[in-house]
Chains A and B, each alone.
Chain A
Amino acid sequence: MGPGSRIYSRSPPTHPDSSKLSLISTRDLTKSFSDSVLALDNLTLDAEPGIIGFVGANGAGKTTFIRILLGLLPPTSGSASVLDMDVRGDQMAIRRSVGYMPENDCLPIDVSGADFVAHMGRMSGLPFQAARERAAEMLRHVGLHEERYRLIGGYSTGMKQRVKLAQALVHDPKLLLLDEPTNGLDPAGREDMLALIARTGTEFGISVLVTSHLLGEIERVCEQLIAIDGGKLRYNGPVSAFTELTERLVVELDDDIPELAPALRSRGLDVDGTTTLLRITVRDETTYDVIRDTAAEHGAAIARMQLTRHKLEELFRDQVGAHG
């Protein structure tokens, strides 16, 4: 420990206390805005420290969920806790340990990026000097250099998103809540933002809950995935399992062979689609062998095989159809 290490110390690139800490935990969490509209419907879930993707179509209840975690909205019923702190009783302690990046615009126009991020650091409890130093560091981390002394009103959308991320990080939170951080960005900007999120989660050791309506984008940076639809929990588990769940193999045949689909089903595959265009769930590597062998037995010529995936909305519609 050298002099000056009093304030800053290096963190290990792992998530501290990951064994005993519950990052986010909800029990029967329900939020209704009126008698008819249920924004969250009996949500019971647990999230471990790490990078968590929170997906759902627009209006699925993602922002409501985050607002309840921050104590900005009271739950109608049920309970929720963040870092083992209750959202009803310990709001202030939660907000001290959490960084929030809202989906919508949230920046003033006639303040410089450096001044604003430092101010937000002080609002979260950092002393003046520490707030200035950490603001400079976080703005550097998100890739804003000399521009940070210019007024925010003159920033591009991408730069504004970076300032929003910096102000969420400035007070060194244990958990980052990022609401649609890639919204409004061009493809290159999206890539940059996703890379930043991944770096923040893995190198900084800060847990991240990142919401998106785009599954393809979010699953690349996440370890755990939570999917909700219409306020109901649809999936909560590792990303890899969700990827399998959503992948389908499209098999296009040259001729109409009506008996092929029943034959495939009889060998344990999940098949649907028309006679010349079949959609098959890939269980594991042997699925391909089964398709090849069965097609050969029935003399079916396969014109095309392609891995595709459900859009999030389709998946939910299918599941709703299947269950209800």
Chain B
Amino acid sequence: MAESSATRPGARLRPVGDSATPQAGGSATTGGALYDLGYQRYTGKRLDRANAVRTLFAFSLRTAFGLGRGARSKAIPSIILAVVFIPAIVSVGAASTTGFSALISYDNHLQFTSFLIALFAAAQAPELIVTDRQYGVLTLYLARPLTGVLYALAKLGALVAAMMVLTFGPQLVLFLGKVFIAVSPWAAFKDEWTVLGPLILGTLTVSCFIGSVAMAIASFGGRRAYASASVIGFFLLVPAAATVVRSLATGETKRYLILAHPIEVINGFAKWIFHIEAKRRTAVGRADLPGSYYFAVMLAVIVVATTVLLLRYRRNEV
């Protein structure tokens, strides 16, 4: 152990015992001498609080995908990664070999991934914040130069970033597929690039929407499994309740009640942001509300859920 440390460049060594006493044949270069490295003070650079937030963000983003963790922590993220990316990759692959260019549409893919990232959020939001509470790690974080609010923001940011990988990532595969399968990629890019803005805004909004709700619910959980069940329960029960209430309502009320249904809100938002007319027979088509309503509801939910989350961590106490 002393040996391995002694090889580190820059370490200054001192032989044990009185160094002024010449030792017969026992100089430091002949080896075999014992070294006591002692304690070394750190006098280098110390970084600021922003660095602590960035560090926590990056560490939590890795945690969301199970990186640097045991094999079991990688299972759920890997499965969801596969399920969101494989259809996009297969779709691009099929289109490039057959020359048939009917790729999965951006809005359909966003609707398809919303369900999966809700599952992802249910599994990983508790992994990010409940386990810190459950195992007491939060105490160590709060004893460092970091406030509870910054802690919660870093964790929320990490979850949203992980969800962006799952939503925007496959969309980017579809986008690049469309561009490079085309006879003239440059012409295709000029046609297609305007969709990048809606793609980023769309996937970001959906990720924040689902992520902030999952984090707000998880912030009340004392144990990981219960917190996951609560998040899943929320995303199952609220749509179910909204559907029942909507089936009882009539007229104008029925039209507006679609805004209480999280999945339909995402559907309506996806049609709006990609400028696609909703089909008449779908719920969104029948409600026929302005698309910005769906966006407004999502923003309101994001603000409320984030506020709840930050309030939970405002007191900096465990």
Contacts and interface: CB of A to CB of B under 8 A. Distances in A.
Interface of A: 2-11, 70-73, 92-93, 95-96, 98, 100, 102, 104-112, 115, 119-120, 122-127, 130, 133-134, 137, 140-141, 145, 151, 153, 167, 171-172, 203-205
14 contacts: A2-B10, A4-B9, A9-B41, A72-B316, A100-B140, A105-B135, A107-B135, A107-B136, A108-B131, A108-B137, A123-B56, A130-B44, A171-B46, A172-B41
A110 B41 contact: no
Interface of B: 1, 5, 8-12, 14, 38-49, 51-52, 55-56, 59, 68-70, 72-73, 131-132, 135-137, 139-146, 316-318
Contact of A8 (B43, B69, B145, B146): B43
B69 A111 contact: yes
Contacts of B55: 119, 122-123
Contacts of A140: 1, 5
Nearest to A171: B42
Contacts, number: 140
Given A107-B135, A126-B46, A145 B41 contact: no
A141 B72 CA distance: 31
Nearest to B141: A123
Given A8-B41, A72-B317, A123 B52 contact: yes
B75 to A, nearest CB: 12
Nearest to B131: A108
A10 B139 contact: no
User: Interface on chain B toward A: helix, strand, loop, or mixed SS?
Assistant: loop
B140 A127 contact: no
Given A8-B41, A8-B43, A102 B10 contact: no
A115 B4 CA distance: 19
Contact of B48 (A5, A7, A125, A130): A125
Contact of B39 (A11, A122, A124, A145): A11
B125 to A, nearest CB: 16
Q: Which 9 A-B pairs have the closest CB atoms?
A: A4-B10, A172-B42, A106-B136, A125-B46, A8-B40, A204-B39, A7-B44, A100-B143, A110-B70
Contacts of B56: 123
Nearest to A138: B39
B317 A6 contact: no
Contacts of B142: 72
Contact of B145 (A109, A111, A124): A124
Contacts of A105: 135-136
A6 B1 contact: no
Q: Which residue of A3, A8, A73, A111 has the most chain B CB atoms within 10 A of its CB atom?
A: A8
Nearest to A104: B136
Contacts of A127: 44-45, 47
A57 B105 CA distance: 68
B40 to A, nearest CB: 4
A205 B135 CA distance: 31
A95 B12 contact: no
A205 B38 CA distance: 11
A93 B241 CA distance: 50
Contacts of B14: 10
A95 B43 contact: no
A72 B135 contact: no
Nearest to A2: B12
Contact of A95 (B51, B68, B131, B145): B145
Given A105-B135, A106-B135, A124-B144, A9 B1 contact: no
Contacts of A96: 46, 145
B143 A70 contact: yes
Contacts of A115: 68
Nearest to A136: B5
Contacts of A102: 136, 139-140, 143
A10 B42 contact: no
Contacts of B42: 7-8, 126, 130, 134, 171-172
Given A2-B12, A95-B143, A100-B143, A125 B52 contact: yes
Contacts of B145: 92-93, 95-96, 123-125
A6 B41 CA distance: 11
A71 B316 CA distance: 9
B190 to A, nearest CB: 41
Nearest to A70: B143
Nearest to B140: A106
Given A8-B12, A11-B40, 9 more contacts: A2-B10, A6-B43, A7-B44, A72-B316, A102-B139, A104-B136, A125-B46, A125-B52, A172-B42
Contact of A10 (B12, B44, B68, B69): B12
B61 to A, nearest CB: 13
A242 B138 CA distance: 37
A172 B44 CA distance: 11
Contacts of B317: 72-73
A177 to B, nearest CB: 8
B135 A167 contact: no
A263 to B, nearest CB: 56
